[in-house]
Structures are given as structure tokens and as C-alpha cells.
């Protein structure tokens, strides 16, 4: 009887944990922290000039509201120290996760860079945007309280 109770508790605990991904600085991005929030997921590369133009806009967006989280994915799939150094060099202040994050959310590897996916609080892709975006344009697509989305 006690074994069944312990097994049930373990299943509940494990089910509540969800997936997690490691960002460029070794931090953990937890699936449970993303639930109920809008996500802006941006594919970028250092050799992409429009990506470089767009990164300050994404940095600004990341600071707008706790209701939205900005995540980056390096197109060429750098990891570890190489990704951290590159992200720092590029001035990226938001979390950059790996291609395993994209797979978990069913995001296709883009044909154009930059590409930005907006994922709604239910975890579904609401918008797929090609080319550089501005903070203002992205806010207009995000129905979040307290943000200037005119």
C-alpha cells in the first residue's frame, strides 16, 4: 500500500516538473515557467545583418512585461561556452536555448533569418514572422496588460 502511495506521489511530482532547457549562461528555462505566458522565439545568427539590427529590439521587448518571455535560438546550433561567448559579444540579454526547445514546440527550422515565432499562452504558434521585427510591431501582436500595444 505504501509503495503505491509513494509511486503515485512520484508520478505527480515528475508530471509537474515538465521539460527544461539550458540557456547560454547555464540557467534553466522551465516549461512550467512558460505556461500561461506569451513567448517570442527568435532564430538568429551572427552572420545575419538583419538579425544584428533586430537584437536590441528583442532586448527591449524582453524587459516590457512579465507576461511575455523572449527566447532566442542560434540558427547554427552553437552550444555551451561558444554560445555564451557569442551571445555576450552580440549583447543578447534574453535567454538563448537550443534546437531541442524548437522541437518541443513544433517550430520549423526557418528558411529566412531572422524568423520570429509568437507562441500563445496555450503553447501554440500564433504568428510566424520573417525578417527583422521591432519592439513596437511585436507588442502590437501581443495582447498583454500594461503594454503599449497601439
pLDDT tens digits along 56-74: 999 999 999 889 999 999 9
pLDDT digits (tens, 9 = 90+) for 19-28: 999 999 999 9
> Structurally, what CATH architecture does the domain formed by 20-140 represent?
3-Layer(aba) Sandwich (3.40)
In this prediction the pTM is: 0.85
Pairing outcome for strands 115-119 and 95-97: unpaired
More confidently predicted of 75 and 16: 75
Q: What per-residue confidence (pLDDT) applies to 144?
A: 80
Residue ranges of the domains in the chain?
20-140
140 pLDDT tier (thresholds 50, 70, 90): very high
Coil, strand or helix at 97: strand
Q: How far apart are CA 91 and CA 50, in angstroms?
A: 15
pLDDT digits (tens, 9 = 90+) for 83-100: 999 999 999 999 999 999
Cα dist from 65 to 42, 93, 146, whole Å: 17, 15, 8
More confidently predicted of 147 and 115: 115
Among 131, 14, 132, 21, CA closest to 69: 21
125 pLDDT tier (thresholds 50, 70, 90): very high
Amino acid at each position: 500500500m505504501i509503495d503505491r502511495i509513494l509511486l503515485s506521489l512520484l508520478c505527480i511530482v515528475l508530471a509537474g516538473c515538465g521539460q527544461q532547457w539550458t540557456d547560454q549562461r547555464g540557467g534553466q528555462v522551465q516549461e512550467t515557467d512558460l505556461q500561461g505566458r506569451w513567448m517570442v522565439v527568435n532564430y538568429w545568427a551572427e552572420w545575419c545583418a538583419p538579425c544584428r539590427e533586430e537584437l536590441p529590439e528583442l532586448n527591449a521587448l524582453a524587459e516590457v512585461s512579465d507576461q511575455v518571455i523572449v527566447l532566442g535560438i542560434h540558427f547554427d546550433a552553437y552550444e555551451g561556452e561558444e554560445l555564451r561567448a557569442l551571445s555576450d559579444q552580440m549583447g543578447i540579454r534574453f535567454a538563448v536555448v537550443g534546437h531541442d526547445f524548437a522541437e518541443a514546440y513544433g517550430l520549423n527550422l526557418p528558411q529566412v533569418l531572422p524568423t520570429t515565432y509568437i507562441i500563445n499562452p496555450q503553447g501554440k504558434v500564433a504568428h510566424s514572422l520573417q525578417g527583422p521585427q521591432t519592439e513596437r510591431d511585436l507588442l502590437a501582436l501581443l495582447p498583454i496588460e500594461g503594454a503599449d500595444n497601439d
